[in-house]
Amino acid sequence: MKFLIVGLGNIGEEYQGTRHNIGFDIVDSLAKEMDSNFDLDRHAFISDFKFKGRSFHLIKPTTFMNLSGKAVKYWLDKLKIPKDNLLVILDDVALPFGQIRIKHKGSDGGHNGLKDINQKLGTNQYPRLRFGIGNDYHSGDQVRYVLGNWTDAENALLDKPIQRSCEAVKSFGTIGITRTMNEFNQKIEQ
C-alpha cells in the first residue's frame, strides 16, 4: 500500500511562515517526526517513510501553488499510486483557524492549487485535507491575508493542529478515509 501525500505551498524564503504554506509545514512536520529528509527531485521535494507496513511518499511541489497539478500528476504516475491513495493538504479560509476537514472529493473552493490539480488529473475525485486559516481580513484583502505570516497569537497555537494533521495523514494511510473523517472532522479546542 503506497500513498502520495502532497503538501501545497510556494517555494522560497519569502513564503516561509505564511498561511498559504501550511501544506508544506504539515509535511515538513510529519517528515521530521518520521526521521525522513526531503530531497529535490523532478517537480518536487520528496520524502519517503514506512509506517505500519504502508509506504508514504510526501511531496512539496516546486512548481509554485498555481501549477501544483504538474508535480502531483508526475508523482502519481511515476509511483503508480491510485488517486484514492492521494491526499492533498491545503489552506482553507472557509474554516476557522486550526480546524481540519478531510473529504473524499470536492470542488476547488477557489483555491488555485486545487484548480490546477483538478485540471491536470481531469477529476476532483481525490482526498484532501483542508487546514483552516480563518478569514480575518477585509474585503479585497484575501490575497494579502493568505500570503501573509501567521500572527504571534496564531503561531503560539499552531503546533497542536499541525500535529493533529500529521496524525490524520497517518490515519488516512492505515485505517482509511472514512474512519479518519469520523475521527478528525470535528471542531478542535484551542
Distance, CA of 42 to CA of 60 (rounded, Å): 11
Taking the alpha carbons at both ends of the chain, their separation in whole angstroms is 34
Angle at the Cα of 169 from the Cα atoms of 23 and 155, rounded to 5 degrees:
45
Cβ atoms of residues 157 and 114 within 8 Å: no
Beta strands in 106-167 (DSSP E): 128-132
Q: What does DSSP say about strands 2-7 and 86-92: parallel, antiparallel, or unpaired?
A: parallel
Candidate list 20, 43, 57, 111, residue with the active-site label: 20
Query: Is 20 an active-site residue?
Result: yes
Catalytic residues: 20
